[in-house]
Structure 1
Amino acid sequence: MRLSVGGRLAMVSLGVVVLVAGVLAALMSVQLSDSGQRQAEQVTRSVAETLAHEPEVAALVRERDSDTLQPMVEAILSDADLSFVTIMTPDGIRLTHRNRSEIGEPYLGSREEALAGSTHTEVYGGTLGPSVRTIAPIRADGADEGEIVGLVSVGVTLGAVQADLAARVPLIVTAAAGIVGIGILGALYVRRSARRVTGSYTPRELARLVESYETVLHSLREGLVVTDHEGRIVLYNDEAADLLGLPPATTGQVSLDPREIDMDAALAEALVSGRRMVEETVVTGDRVLLINQEEARDLTGRRAPERGRVMTLRDRSELQALLGELEGVRTLSDTLRSQTHEHGNRLHALLALLELGRIDDARRLIAASTEDRQALADRLVAGNDGAVVVALLLGKLDEAAERGVALDLDVDEPTPALPLAPAEAVTMVGNLVDNAMDAAAAGADPRWVRASLTRRAADVVIEVSDSGTGFDPRLADPFAFGASTKDAAAPGGRGVGLALVRDIVAAHGGTLRVTADPTTVRVLLPAPVEAVTA
């Protein structure tokens, strides 16, 4: 039989209640039985002592007057809840009995204690069956002391006691049934409550499910954090502990307030607020995290915000580095391709001039080819800190010329040092210039791009403007990962470049700003400490 956790809890609860009700009913029966027997003992003792101290009874016993004593006893039996009242001589000959045929017969029962002068109560099987009986001595004139002239035995059969108990059985049954009824309601409530939490799983299925969840939880390469409705962290896996600097994940009860632990303020705010997050980038320490956060769902798949939120975290640091290197290689390869094409054209023109004997025109062509970039080349040869960026921009001149775009470069001298690794510098500047050239090339004449690298106080400013129509209004955030209107199959059409720019700027504590007319992307980065103090 397949019983869910809730069903088993309900069955156990109901079984316990039924057991308790049965035990209580048995205890009540025993108590009532004992109470009935004690009451019978008290009644028989009271009546026996009353008759024993009655002078008239003592006189009639002395005279052995059964004819007078029997009606007296029958009257007592009719008025009192007694089974028999037997008056006898000291040697045990009955003077009265419920059954008149027993008068004159010997009394069945112990008389020793009564003959010794004391009142005695016992359970004994007589002619009417087992009974609770009290036997007391009758003294002359009913006095407390003196000659014992007879004995009186007053009893209640156990059948009568049990009949009285049977009359109370409906009360016991009703009480037990009431307890069982309450137990059934409680069991139904327990089943419903447990089902709400555990569904229809059996204990074995639930144990297997929990074991599977634990395995998956701690095997995920993504960080997983679960918060309650107050924003407190109640569950997280090993990867989340590593990414957020939390204590090692355990299977015990966890309750951490993100605001009270060493955590990035923006991330703590997101956990506490529980706001929905979709592929949002958060920079914490030297890591770039891609975060999603949604409301928890119940077993039916419906949203259950009262159960908290679920956050997943992916470390994009390594991915960003790889994408940055890829973008850098792509940028450099495009630049080399453009330069190769441009130099090829110039070599063909130079060869034609030489074949025609126009030596002066050939000299002028060679001078014009080098004049525009000589200043930038001198800086590169000088080997200062901005050499990588200068080399990149130098290569972009040929690419821009090939695409029919005028590229205007404004670089301070000496070239400002950037707080970036060479690969990061190539990725950021290359992507900004590439996107600007794409926009300008797609627009109307005149097509131009202006790129500047300048120093402003303690900041390095990179500014790229173009003559294009601006960012596509269909993009809510053009710097979001995957945001692009290009063909995804086309080179550079995956919405990665500008997202990398944003991540690099955020990772180095910079700011990114976009303005229109003309479209301008302005990046401010804190200058390296050596450059500030120089």
Structure 2
Amino acid sequence: MKKKQFKLQTQITVFTIVIVVIAIYTTIYFTTRWIMSSIQQEINTNIMNVAKVIANSPNVVEEMKSGDYYQNTIQPFVKKILADTNQVEIIVVADMEGLRYAHPNPQRLGEKFVGGDELRVVKTGELYISEATGTMGTSIRAFAPIYDWENHQQLGFVMVGNLTQTVAQIKKQRVITIILASFVGLFLGIIGAILLANSIKKNLLGLEPEEIAKLYVEKKGMLEAIHEGVIAIDGDEKITLINDSARKLLRIEETDIIGEKVTKLFPTSRLPEVLKTGVAEYDREQMVNDTIIINNRVPIENGEKIVGAIATFRDKTMITRLAEEVTGVKQIVEALRANTHEFMNKLHVILGLIEIKEFEEAKKYIIHTSKNQQQIMTLVMGKIKDPTIAGLLLGKISRAKELGITMNITSDSYLEKREGKITSSILITILGNLIENAMEAIGLSDKEERVIEVNLMESKKKIIIKVKDTGIGIPKENVSCIFERGFSTKALSRGIGLSLVKNTVENLGGSIEVTTRVCEGTEFMAILPKEGKL
């Protein structure tokens, strides 16, 4: 079962949101810890400063010398400081016995200091911060000693503090503020992730990663499969794509040419002109490295903007050869050439006989040759009603004679002018290539019997073509490969003929069979339906 893949837009959105969440909450974690520490430090510094100010106040020092808990002015002074100072909730002034001279609750005046953490300031007279539970609850406390510097005597101490509950509330409010800010950041991050995903999706033309990978693999396969040269440029006239066929035709040996200016490697490409004008050019001939190529050039458009241009081109000679193979022109040309060659040979014989004044022999030769040619033409034309096919067979018979091969048309052969999808050019392609293949097979044989037998039969529904030779035959291991394009046992052959025959037959919905025995010969039989398939 194929695993379900999330769309690229969804993946980008989720991935970006996850990154934003991790970034925000990592920041929150460290920021919160720093703020907690900062708040604590701020509170400690604040209460210690207030404690030192009160402990060094002359009024407090003088009143502490009096020893009167109730009739002193320290309590009003402390009360005013409490009212005017933020983040301070408790101020206590006490003597060395711990008796209170000032307290947020006036009823506690004269009573002993509670908490136990005051012993340190009483014994050592040092400044410090501690946490303890007093009459108002648990609090953070700053202690500062009160000195009579004239008599070098410690008179008491000041404790300034904040309830731990209040400190916790301050920290909580700060944390809530940070969290609310993080939610705003997360919301903006989500919006940004969606916009980013939409932008990337748009730039990728709505394609998913697997679709992009598939297109890349398909593009690479197509470039390697086609024989046409392909070269593309971007809006800056720099090469963005070139295949191996283009490299061969342009004779480019450099491996890394992507990003190079096209005018440097292919000055006559006219791609810059197509890029500027936006006008395509088709089937233009031009000379490149002593080779005539057929060139097509078109602009690459993205909406109404031209973003590049692409050219495809191919050797004109190869195109001509393939056209001749496909249309059967090659077979007709060869047949005409064979007829012309045989005619010239006979003319040379007649000319020679006349020169040596053997007029009677020349007359007999002309009559005999004319009679044989007439018999052959009558035989072929009588059985084959299509003049194009008849001309092909006559040419092949002449060609066979040149090679010392006897080519026979069977007595039961018959071909009318057909109706349906089978055209003369199709028959020329099939019949011409099969006969040519038979001649080549016989040419490789040392047998004295050098015969090709051609049988053409037509019915209302189909045409059957049989070509039998007495050549070398086909080894068993090669039988399955003979119809593959490029396969050949002959060094100079391009391996196109039989492949072209098979493709043509199959395109008609027909079939082709081969019967062969090594050193005895081969027979090909093609069955072509006039309509539909077999």
Equivalent residue number for residue 119 of structure 1: 127
Query: Which residue pairs with 1:240 in the alignment?
Result: 246
1:319 aligns with 2:327: no
Name the counterpart of 1:139: 147
Equivalent of 2:23 in 8, 20, 27: 20
Work out whether residues 236 and 249 of structure 1, in 8 Å CA contact, stay in contact via their aligned partners in 2.
no
1:5 is aligned to 8
Deviation at 1:146, TM superposition (A): 1.5
3-state DSSP of counterpart to 2:117: coil
CA distance in 2, matches of 1:159, 1:116: 29
Question: Offset of 1:489 from its aligned partner?
Answer: 5.8
Whose RCO is larger (CA < 8 A, sep 6+)? Answer: 1
Question: SS at the partner of 2:38?
Answer: helix
- Render the CA deviation track for 1:62-112: whole Å, top value 9, x for unaligned: 444333444543333233231211222224344444454593244431542
Q: Does 1:210 align with 2:204?
A: no
User: What percent of counterpart residues are identical?
Assistant: 20
* Distance in 1 of aligned mates of 2:95 and 2:138: 22
- Confirm or deny: 8 A CA contact 1:33 1:162 kept in the other structure: no
Question: Does the 8 A contact of 2:55 with 2:61 survive in 1?
Answer: yes
Are the structure 2 counterparts of residues 197 and 246 from structure 1 closer, same or farther at C-alpha, using a change threshold of 3 Å?
farther
- Specify the code of the residue in structure 2 equivalent to 1:57: V
Deviation at 1:314, TM superposition (A): 3.1
**Map of 1:492-507 to 2, 5 A cutoff?**
none
Which residue does 1:229 correspond to in 2? 235
Cα offset for 1:330? 3.6
Distance 1:139 1:113 in 2: 12
User: Which string of whole-angstrom CA distances, capped at 9 and with x for unpartnered residues, describes residues 158-194 of structure 1?
Assistant: 3323333444456434533443343233222321221
Partner of 1:293: 297
Please give the root-mean-square deviation of Cα atoms over the aligned residues, in Å. Answer: 4.2
Other-structure match for 1:375: none
CA distance in 1, matches of 2:17, 2:29: 18
Write the distance in 1 (CA, Å) between the matches of 2:32 and 2:152: 44
- Preserved contact between residue 224 and residue 237 of structure 1 (Cα < 8 Å): yes
- Give, in whole Å, the separation in 2 of the partners of 1:287 and 1:145: 117
The alignment partner of 2:53 has SS state of helix
Work out whether residues 84 and 155 of structure 1, in 8 Å CA contact, stay in contact via their aligned partners in 2.
yes
Residue aligning to 1:190: 196
Deviations 1:339-377 (A, max 9, x none): 999xx9xxxxxxxxxxxxxx9xxx9xx9xxxxxxxxxxx
| Pairwise CA distance, 1:308 | 1.9
Q: CA deviation at 1:152?
A: 0.8
CA contact (8 A) 2:146 2:158 kept: yes
The amino acid across from 1:41 in the alignment is N
**1:109 counterpart residue number:** 117
1:157 Cα offset (Å): 2.7
Q: Is the 8 A contact 1:295 1:305 kept in 2?
A: no
Distance 1:169 1:193 in 2: 35
Pick one of 39, 42, 57 that aligns with 1:39: 42
Deviations 1:414-433 (A, max 9, x none): xxxxxxxxxxxxxxxxxxxx
Q: Distance in 2 between matches of 1:89 and 1:283?
A: 113
When residues 42 and 339 of structure 1 are mapped into structure 2, their CA distance, relative to the original with a 3 A threshold, is: closer
Q: Distance in 2 between matches of 1:310 and 1:266?
A: 10
Q: Which amino acid aligns with 2:297?
A: Q
Q: Give the conservation status (yes or no) of the 8 Å contact 1:131–1:158.
A: yes
Whether the aligned pair in 1 keeps the contact of 2:263 and 2:269 (CA below 8 Å) is no
Alpha carbons 1:267, 1:282 under 8 Å: kept = no
Distance in 1 between residues matched to 2:324 and 2:245, nearest whole Å: 24
Counterpart code for 2:312: T
Q: Does the CA-based 8 Å contact 2:275-2:308 persist in structure 1?
A: no
**Distance verdict in 2 for CA 1:156–1:51, change over 3 Å:** same
Instruction: Tell me the TM-score normalized by structure 1.
Output: 0.54
Distance 1:223-1:130 versus aligned 2 partners, 3 A rule: farther
Cα distance in 2 for residues equivalent to 1:224 and 1:205: 23
2:95 is aligned with what amino acid? T
Q: Show the 5 A alignment for 1:268-283.
A: 273=276, 275-283=279-287
Deviations 1:367-392 (A, max 9, x none): xxxxxxxxxxxxxxxxxxxxxxxxxx
Cα deviation code 1:38-78 (max 9, x no counterpart): 32223212211121122332343344433344454333323
Structure 1, gaps ≥5 residues long: 345-358, 367-487, 493-534
Q: Which runs of 5+ in 2 are unaligned?
A: 347-358, 367-421, 427-534
The corresponding residue for 2:82 is 77
Q: Is the 8 A contact 2:274 2:298 kept in 1?
A: no
Distance in structure 1 (CA, Å) of the matches to 2:198 and 2:29: 31
3-state SS of 2:78 partner: helix
Q: AA paired with 2:262?
A: P
Q: How does 1:474-489 map to 2 (within 5 A)?
A: none
Q: CA deviation at 1:136?
A: 0.8
1:266, distance to aligned residue in structure 2 (A): 4.2
Contact 2:28-2:182 at 8 Å conserved across structures: yes
Aligned counterpart for 2:55 among listed residues 48, 52, 56: 52
Counterpart-to-counterpart distance in 2, 1:10 and 1:56: 68
The aligned runs of 1:52-451 (5 Å cut-off) are 52-67=55-70, 68=72, 69-81=74-86, 82-99=88-105, 100=107, 103-113=111-121, 115-124=123-132, 126=134, 128-140=136-148, 143=149, 146-169=152-175, 171-247=177-253, 254-261=258-265, 263-267=266-270, 273=276, 275-296=279-300, 305-321=305-321, 330-331=332-333, 333-334=335-336
CA separation of 1:222/1:65 partners in 2, compared to 1, >3 Å: closer, same or farther? farther
C-alpha distance in 1 between matches for 2:24 and 2:282: 57
Q: Normalising by structure 2, what TM-score?
A: 0.54
Distance 2:261 2:151 in 1: 89
Deviations 1:90-146 (A, max 9, x none): 243444444545932444315425642332234455554554321111123xx3871
